Amino acid sequence: MANMTPRGQRVADQIQRELATLIQLEVSDPRVGMVSVTGVDVSRDLAHARVFVTVLNTPAASDEANDALSNPGELDKLEVEQNIKALNQASGFLRTLLAKRLALRSVPKLQFRYDASIENGAQLSSLIDSALKADLAQHGDDLPEDDES
C-alpha cells in the first residue's frame, strides 16, 4: 500500500516485529519451517494486514531431498505452499497472541503471502555475475595495459 499513514506504518512495523518472534517461538505446526517476515501492509482502517514472508530451505533428513531443496523447483514450491497454508490456518492463533502484546483496540486480520523479492534478487544477481564472467571471458584479452611512459 503506497499511501500508508504514519500511524499505519508504525502499527505495521510493530506487527512485523512481533510476528517474527511469535512465529518462531509459539507456532508448533510442523509444516512451518524457517520463515522470515519481510513486510506488513496494513489497511487504512487497520482492520486487515497482509503479511509478506519468505521461506528458507530447511534441511531434510535425506541427502537426495537436500540436493533437491538446494535447486529451486517443484519441491520448493510445495514447501512454500505448505508454509503459507499453515500460517494462514494459524492466523487466528497469532492474532490472539498479537492482541495480548499490542496496545490496539482491534488487531487486524492477518493474511499471509509469499514474498519472492529475495528469490528474484538472488536470480538477478546470479544473472549479472554470469554476464560479467562472459564479458570478461570474451574481452579479457582485449583490455588495454597501463603504459608507464
Supply the CATH number for residue 119's domain.
3.30.300.20
For residue 147, tell me if it sits in a domain: no
For residue 91, tell me if it sits in a domain: yes
* Banded model confidence at residue 20, pLDDT cuts 50, 70, 90: very high
For residue 21, tell me if it sits in a domain: yes
Higher pLDDT, 60 or 57: 57
What local confidence, expressed as pLDDT, does residue 137 receive? Answer: 87
Residues 86 and 122: their CA atoms lie apart, in Å, by 26
For residue 1, tell me if it sits in a domain: no
Question: With 0-12 CB in 10 A as exposed, 13-18 as middle and 19+ as buried, what is 74?
Answer: exposed
For residue 149, tell me if it sits in a domain: no
For residue 143, tell me if it sits in a domain: no
Domain range for residue 122? 6-138
CA geometry: angle at 66 spanning 63 and 67, to 5°?
90
CA atoms within 13 A on the CB side of 110: 30
pLDDT at 40 over 70: yes
Q: What is the mean pLDDT of residues 18-40?
A: 91
What is the torsional sign of CA 59, 60, 61, 64?
negative
For residue 145, tell me if it sits in a domain: no
The dihedrals phi and psi of 141, each to the nearest 5 degrees, come to -80, -20
Residues 39 and 91: their CA atoms lie apart, in Å, by 16
Q: What is the pLDDT of residues 85-119, one digit of tens each?
A: 999 999 999 999 999 999 888 999 999 999 888 77
Q: Domains in the chain: how many in total?
A: 1
Higher pLDDT, 143 or 106: 106
What is the torsional sign of CA 106, 112, 116, 122?
positive
